[in-house]
Structure 1
Amino acid sequence: MTLVSDDPVWWPSINSYRIASYFIVAASAGVMYDWVLTFGYEVELIWRQHWSLMTGLYLSARYLGIIYAAIGLLIYVPTISLTGAVSRIIYVISNSMITIVNAILGVIMIARLHAMYQRRKMLIFLSAVLLAVTIATGVTITIITMHLSEEELILSGTYQCSVQLGDNTNLTYSMYWTFITAWELLALCLAIWIAVKHFRELQRPSTGWIIRDCFMVLTKSHLLYFVSFVAVSCWNFGYLSPALTADPFTLEGQIYPGLTQIFLLVQLFVLGPRLILSVRKYHAKSVYDSDATIGITSVYLQERVHVLTG
């Protein structure tokens, strides 16, 4: 369905669409900028290393983020004209990508927790919980997409393609984020518990500092990621507030979704891949420091041998 109108009553909608495009550009630029900043580390620590499951997970999360940012530009940039059917497909793909990346980050969390616990039962338990959460989120996204409707708008010379959500969509989205939040809380509690336990057990400096440093790296990156996730969840649960849904064309109603989009992209596509990159950087630094120590010791021993035999 196409609607053509020059009625001034549509001007708030035009302004809202324009503001949304600004936030999408800002979020996309942030994802691209982080990729540029970390590309050197990515080449050295990902592409040139032995390929593994973590390599595939990192590349999937990183480059799905870049694709997601490009798709966002296709939807919200007014100079690009898309049909209603295409906009619907892009919207469904975007939501599916968020679900997929959340599942990828869940697998990364399982790998980190398994490395900390070293217990097969814990691995099986976490895998079962993540599978249940992924299925539940997949069902909620399917329900949302089943009630979508699209409409092409040509308003005062500007082209828009609006995807309308069905009734009770905010409640369904809240269920979606409730499942993911429950998983993240479980992962955080398990990470803090085992980290505190290891910090108490490792009292001998001769054997404990290296393991303690490794746990510190895992815990810091996990906490930073979780703080960003809390921000995203709180902003998404905020859609249940009647103050936001009553008049979406107010300044607050226009800025709120834009900030939510920025926080979401940062959490998924910036801090998510850094969960792997931070560990790779720590191991690379540990190997470098170890090699440097061995080299200094070797030079010292060679000088001692020269003195004693001279």
Structure 2
Amino acid sequence: MSDDFRLTPAAAEAIRATQYFTLASSTVYLYDLFLTLGLEVDLLWSSKWTLMKVLYLIQRYLPLIDMVIVMMIWQFGEITDLRTCSKLLVGSSWSYLVGLTLSEVILTRRTLAVWGNTMKIRIGLFLFALVCMVPLYLLLAEYHLTEAFTYHSIPVPGFYCFLTGQSGMSYLLGVWVLLGVYDTGLLVLIAVPAFRAYRSSELDVRRSTLFKVVHRDGVLYYLYTAALSALNVIVILNVQGTYAPLLIASLERVVYSILTSHVVLHIREQAYRTEIVTINLPNSIDMDAELEFRRSGV
């Protein structure tokens, strides 16, 4: 406990901005969760249990813990001791990274499927993921070893847990850089076959729901995630203060979960809604060796 901590106006403004972003991100997440719950129950919950289904459910509902519950308590709850303050943030950050990793696994399998699931692309994506994702855990571990926490016992409405010091900033910067590099790589990998398909397909195929689900949405989703990682890097480099790395981190957390969930649900929805058309997407995100899509009669 530290009573000599001085809450400057700039620090108070940064903490408040972080709280607003967290609250807004949690609201977006809950809204999307309720919006797609019926579709999820119909298309996923009743299906057979597979590894990919388990990964989907974990990455889909994990933000309910590390964002909506833990971060709300950490930022808005009346925490009474330093140990609780530290445990909440550390636990939430590890849950955050695990959730992002599971989302990336699902998105990577989708990219693998589009490329035909060949051994060459398997090995290439595995090595790429190894280089980019493993260091994330090492960087986060170093961050928690170097970053300092303090508890301010003087009652200030809305302010109870404080991060102090700048020692861990470079580690979080490395996390966002690696995430941006990985998502940019996947963006390129999904954009190449999408461009080829667009150039070689007939106009009606380009306008089909199938093309939009498999190619166009894939490019847009990777573009969003890569852009958010780049935005986090820009914020850390240009915004002063301990809370810069956390300012829009909550937004990226929920966007990863939402977009990944929509990838799965949109493909399954397309398979159920329209006339059956079989395309070869081995080991695709739909968890089958072959996806059945239905062409809309509308």
Pairing 1:278–2:278 present: no
- Do the aligned residues in 1 keep the contact of 2:103 with 2:257 (CA within 8 Å)? no
- Do the aligned residues in 2 keep the contact of 1:153 with 1:162 (CA within 8 Å)? yes
1-side partners of 2:17 and 2:209: how far apart?
45
1:142-190 per-position Cα deviation (integer Å, ceiling 9, x unaligned): 11111122211023554512133542x3322222122111111111111
SS of equivalent residue, structure 1 residue 2: coil
The letter for the 1-side match of 2:224 is S
- Cα gap change, 1:139 to 1:262, in 2 (>3 Å): closer
Query: How far off is 1:50 after superposition?
Result: 2.2
TM-score with structure 1 length normalisation?
A: 0.77
Query: How far off is 1:2 after superposition?
Result: 3.2
SS of equivalent residue, structure 2 residue 64: helix
Query: How far off is 1:196 after superposition?
Result: 2.4
2-side partners of 1:225 and 1:201: how far apart?
23
2-side partners of 1:197 and 1:2: how far apart?
60
- Do the aligned residues in 1 keep the contact of 2:176 with 2:230 (CA within 8 Å)? no
The letter for the 2-side match of 1:227 is L
1-side partners of 2:191 and 2:147: how far apart?
41
Pairing 1:228–2:216 present: no
2:108 corresponds, among 107, 110, 113, to: 110
2-side partners of 1:237 and 1:50: how far apart?
40
Query: How far off is 1:12 after superposition?
Result: 5.4
1:198-256 per-position Cα deviation (integer Å, ceiling 9, x unaligned): 34455598xxx4997534312222233223223322321123435x21xx49xxx98x9
TM-score with structure 2 length normalisation?
A: 0.80
- Residue number in structure 1 paired with 2:289: none
1-side partners of 2:119 and 2:103: how far apart?
20
Please list every run of at least 4 consecutive aligned residues from structure 1 whose deviation after the TM superposition is greater than 6 angstroms: none
1:4-55 per-position Cα deviation (integer Å, ceiling 9, x unaligned): 78x8x65654554444333322221211111010100110111012222331
- Cα gap change, 1:152 to 1:240, in 2 (>3 Å): closer
Q: % of aligned pairs identical?
A: 19
- Residue number in structure 1 paired with 2:280: none
More helix by share: 1
- Comparing 226-235 and 123-132, the one that deviates more: 226-235
- Residue number in structure 2 paired with 1:218: 214
2-side partners of 1:139 and 1:181: how far apart?
17
Aligned residue pair count: 278
2-side partners of 1:211 and 1:56: how far apart?
33
- Stretches of structure 1 lacking an aligned partner (at least 5 in a row): 294-310
Larger Rg: 1
Higher RCO, Cα 8 Å, sep 6+: 1
RMSD over equivalenced CA pairs, Å: 3.2
- Residue number in structure 2 paired with 1:99: 97
